[in-house]
């Protein structure tokens, strides 16, 4: 069975067939999904989805590219929602320097506000970091003692950066990019990362694996990522499913499920 540790089923790409798709998940081998907040609005929608589908959990938080909209009042609201039983993480939060807006100082400010929230609620964090390796690492190092667990979502950095995060006991979110033809750097990192630190994630509707690259992604496609991972790690796909399921449960539920 599959645990999709990072999805965005609140996205409008699913407006036409969301219910049908989600209702078929268990039948199609997907046991759990964590729907991750990216803005205030998507966090609200994610909470509604968690109320509706027993196997769907949620993370509350605001993506760096959306952090320009945040206010102190929003942080209070996020903290209140974080207490709900099906909220299992704070995310996705972090730094994204690929886009010029909002500027770095604003991104850092709200990243740290949400790290503080994770510290206060004792929830794990889901980190989005793009073209911001050093700043992300510096900030996470400085918060290490306040935080429980963390995952670097859609890990896209080198083996050397992976080593730094392993030293801090982080997990690594691995998805469709692993199947892309130009994934050489990622494959090197994945060869290096121990199996007990890998979480399978779609980031759907984005980042569909080959042969669906460019199309709408969904949790059942993680089968293709598991297939590629089994080739790289030289273990069976079944072992990949068992190990990544255990990893995801340890990460989100503290191993209690
Ligand atoms: Ni995402």
Alpha helices by DSSP H, listed for the chain, are 18-23, 40-52, 72-82, 104-121, 133-143, 159-167, 184-192, 222-233, 237-253
Give the predicted TM-score (pTM) of the model: 0.96
Q: How far apart are CA 80 and CA 181, in angstroms?
A: 43
For residue 92, report the distance from its CA to the centre of ligand 1, in Å: 7
Average pLDDT over residues 79-94: 97
For residue 186, report the distance from its CA to the centre of ligand 1, in Å: 18
For residue 204, report the distance from its CA to the centre of ligand 1, in Å: 8
For residue 59, report the distance from its CA to the centre of ligand 1, in Å: 11
Query: DSSP of 142-195, one letter per residue?
Result: HHGGG-S-EEETT--S-HHHHHHHHHTT-EEEE-GGGGSTT-HHHHHHHHHS-G
For residue 38, report the distance from its CA to the centre of ligand 1, in Å: 7
For residue 141, report the distance from its CA to the centre of ligand 1, in Å: 22
For residue 168, report the distance from its CA to the centre of ligand 1, in Å: 22
Angle between the 184-192 and 222-233 helix axes, to the nearest 10 degrees? Answer: 70
For residue 210, report the distance from its CA to the centre of ligand 1, in Å: 19
Q: How far apart are CA 208 and CA 205, in angstroms?
A: 7
For residue 37, report the distance from its CA to the centre of ligand 1, in Å: 8
Q: Which of 93, 78, 75 is nearest to 6 (CA)?
A: 93
Provide the 8-state DSSP code for 209.
P
Tell me what pLDDT residue 255 has. 56
Peptide bond into 175 cis (omega under 30): no
Structure confidence by residue, pLDDT tens digits, 31-58: 999 999 999 999 999 999 999 999 999 9
**pLDDT band at residue 254 under the 50/70/90 scheme:** confident
For residue 9, report the distance from its CA to the centre of ligand 1, in Å: 10
């Amino acid at each position: 069975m599959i645990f999709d540790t990072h999805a965005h089923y609140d996205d409008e790409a699913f407006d036409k067939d969301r219910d049908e798709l989600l209702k078929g998940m268990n039948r199609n081998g997907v046991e759990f999904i964590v729907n991750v907040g990216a803005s205030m609005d998507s966090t609200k929608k994610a909470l509604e989805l968690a109320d509706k589908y027993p196997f769907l959990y949620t993370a509350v938080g605001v993506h760096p590219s959306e952090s320009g909209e945040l206010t102190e009042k929003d942080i209070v609201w996020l903290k209140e929602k974080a207490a709900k039983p099906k909220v299992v993480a704070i995310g996705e939060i972090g730094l994204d320097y690929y886009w010029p807006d909002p500027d770095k100082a604003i991104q850092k400010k709200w990243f740290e506000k949400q790290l503080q929230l994770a510290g206060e609620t004792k929830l794990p964090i889901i980190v989005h970091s793009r073209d911001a390796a050093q700043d992300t690492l510096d900030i996470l190092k400085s918060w290490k003692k306040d935080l429980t667990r963390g995952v670097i979502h859609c890990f896209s950095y080198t083996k050397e950066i992976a080593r730094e995060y392993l030293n801090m006991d982080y997990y690594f979110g691995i998805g469709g990019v692993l199947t892309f033809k130009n994934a050489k750097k990622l494959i090197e990192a994945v060869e290096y990362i121990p199996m007990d630190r890998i979480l399978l994630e779609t980031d759907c509707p984005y980042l569909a694996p080959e042969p669906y690259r460019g199309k709408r992604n969904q949790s059942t496609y993680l089968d293709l990522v598991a297939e590629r991972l089994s080739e790289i790690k030289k273990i069976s796909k079944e072992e990949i499913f068992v190990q990544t399921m255990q990893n995801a449960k340890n990460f989100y539920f503290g191993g209690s499920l």
